[in-house]
């Protein structure tokens, strides 16, 4: 797997935290075979979220997204594995839960776009940027999972 290892930034938003869905979300990523390498539970500041969502600053929903995501605690995580960015995006479902298929996180747990539970990096480059924004390098834990030989050839 070494040549295909990548990381993705995932954040469970205040609606997922308040609804008690953190464990369900983590379980799905673990069951898939991804490895958690960093996590922190925090109340994200509006300033951090403005930087995180900077690519959306010209969208009409930008300020509401920043305000909502800063309204309660979030669980910020870094997951590692083969094609993790692309695979996680499929597991999340469409941004609008109404368009998400059953079996996806948003398809199973969400009702409306403004409460879509979770953020996942949309590309490897954005994942690297988001990880650097939310985590210091020393907060990322490098370790070999005993399951890797059962997951990868």
Each residue of 91-120: pLDDT tens digit?
999 999 999 999 999 999 999 999 999 999
Return binding residues: 13, 61, 89, 95, 106, 116
Place of tokens 């879509």: 116
For 12-32, what is the mean pLDDT? 98
- 10 Å Cβ neighbour count for 45? 11
- In whole angstroms, what is the distance from residue 36 CA to residue 39 CA? 8
- In whole angstroms, what is the distance from residue 120 CA to residue 11 CA? 7
| Paired tokens of 69 | 């995501």
Say yes or no to pLDDT of 4 above 90: no
- In whole angstroms, what is the distance from residue 67 CA to residue 87 CA? 28
H or E segment and range at residue 14? helix 14-18
- In whole angstroms, what is the distance from residue 7 CA to residue 127 CA? 7
H or E segment and range at residue 41? strand 35-42
The verdict on whether 119 is a catalytic residue reads yes
The residue from 78, 93, 119, 135 that is catalytic is 119
Provide the pLDDT confidence category of residue 2 given band limits of 50, 70 and 90: low
Chain segment 36-58, per-residue pLDDT in tens: 999 999 999 999 999 999 999 99
- Residues 82, 4: contact at Cβ < 8 Å? yes
Average pLDDT, the chain: 96
Q: Within 13 A of 120's CA, how many CA atoms are on the CB side?
A: 25
Return binding residues for ATP: 13, 61, 89, 95, 106, 116
User: Which pLDDT does position 153 carry in this prediction?
Assistant: 86
């Amino acid at each position: 797997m070494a040549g295909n290892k990548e990381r993705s930034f995932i954040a469970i938003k205040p609606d997922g935290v308040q609804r008690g869905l953190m464990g369900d979300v983590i379980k799905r990523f673990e069951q898939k075979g991804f490895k958690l390498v960093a996590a922190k539970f925090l109340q994200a500041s509006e300033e951090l979220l403005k930087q995180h969502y900077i690519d959306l600053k010209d969208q009409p929903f930008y300020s509401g997204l920043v305000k909502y995501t800063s309204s309660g605690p979030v669980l910020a995580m870094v997951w590692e594995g083969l094609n993790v960015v692309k695979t996680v995006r499929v597991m999340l479902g469409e941004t609008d839960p109404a368009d998400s298929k059953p079996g996806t996180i948003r398809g199973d747990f969400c009702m409306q776009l403004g409460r879509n539970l979770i953020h996942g990096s949309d590309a490897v480059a954005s994942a690297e940027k988001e990880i650097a924004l939310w985590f210091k390098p020393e907060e990322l834990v490098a370790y070999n999972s005993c399951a890797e030989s059962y997951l990868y050839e």
